[in-house]
Amino acid sequence: MQPSRPLAPRKSRAVLVVNGASRRGAAAAATAERLMRAQGWRDLEVRRLEGGADLPATLGAAVATAPDLLVVGGGDGSLSCGAGAVAGTEVVLGVLPLGTANDFARTLQVPHDLPSAVATLTEGHVVDIDLGRVGLVPYLNVASIGLSVGVTEKLSPRLKKRLGPLAYPVATLAAYRAHEPFSARLEFPDGDHETLELHDLLQVAVGNGRHYGGGNAVSPTASLDDHLLDVYAIVRGRLRDHVSIARLLKDGSFVEHERVHHVATRRLRVVTEPDLGVNLDGEIAARTPADFTVERNAVHVVVPVHSAAAVLDGPGPSATGTHS
């Protein structure tokens, strides 16, 4: 991890991009701009979008102007897109959590209320985090196959706006009832694990960050800067098995359940039967077969001074764990 550093707003140039399709985006855009200017961000360009279709091009154009700070207001999908845009550059990413789950902000311990999140841009410090990729497509939290894709399909914008975080358990129950089990082969190109042939699966997930799905943890040790992907696969069981797993989702200890396979790695290829969609931070943006990698220290991001995120430099190659 590179040494953290503060930002100096009165000497910095910032671009604020707000996705108006996110749960609070449309209502928060003007307030976010006003708060940033009040905090001293005088050289500020604001771009408000009606939806996510223009987000990649807008973020790319913003980064091309080489601002000191790119602030993205939106949900986890918008922030993943922003992270992909700044990855490998000197542009710092700022986070305004305006979505439903806001799991990336939860991992970084960025406050969910807008005034405090804006204050973090000025009062926080900059750290480096990893970026996950499926092929070339970036993600921050978790990429998953199976049940979570069904959940995403059930999570309509109307449901999220009406129920907020409660939309996730409602959509999960609906997706669980309609789920079709699948088979998957997990291949490890670096040879750190033996190939896993798994059948009758509920879900396969590949985590870069710590939180997903409205506050669930990928594993007890998952971190945004350990240079590892946390991989788990849940084998379908009886209802009581799934209930016992669900009770352990918040702290990630479900990975020790007898119906869960868990490994940590740097590269992974997943082949499923049949081919399936891949959910990346709430967006179905890829299909299997899929190659997963982690890009070390790829993104500079502002976090609160008290944040416990991004405090590692990553373990050595021998530190990968396994449970299967």
Per-residue pLDDT of the chain in tens (324 residues, 90 and over written 9): 444 667 767 678 999 999 987 767 577 889 999 999 999 998 999 999 887 788 999 999 999 999 999 999 999 999 999 999 999 999 999 999 998 889 999 999 999 999 999 999 999 999 999 999 999 999 999 999 988 787 777 766 677 667 676 777 777 777 777 788 999 999 999 999 999 999 999 999 999 999 988 889 999 999 999 999 999 999 988 878 878 888 888 899 999 999 999 999 999 999 999 999 999 998 889 999 999 999 999 999 999 999 988 777 544 433 333 444
CB 81 within 8 A of CB 63: no
Helices (H) and strands (E) in the chain, counts: 9, 19
User: What is the reported pLDDT for 176?
Assistant: 73
CB 94 within 8 A of CB 70: yes
User: What is the reported pLDDT for 169?
Assistant: 73
CB 187 within 8 A of CB 124: no
Token pair of 284 as six digits: 């179905």
User: What is the reported pLDDT for 203?
Assistant: 92
- Whether 295 is a known active-site residue: answer no
Record the pTM: 0.87
Please tell me the total number of residues recorded for the chain in this structure.
324
Q: Which three-class secondary structure string do you get for 125-136? A: EEEEEEEEEECC
CA distance linking residue 212 with residue 73, whole number of Å: 18
User: What is the reported pLDDT for 245?
Assistant: 86
Residues 6+ apart with CB under 8 A from 168: 100, 101, 151, 155, 213, 214
User: What is the reported pLDDT for 317?
Assistant: 39
Q: Among the options 45, 256, 258, 283, which is catalytic?
A: 283
Residue ranges of domains in the chain, CATH in brackets: 5-130+297-303 (3.40.50.10330), 138-295+313-323 (2.60.200.40)
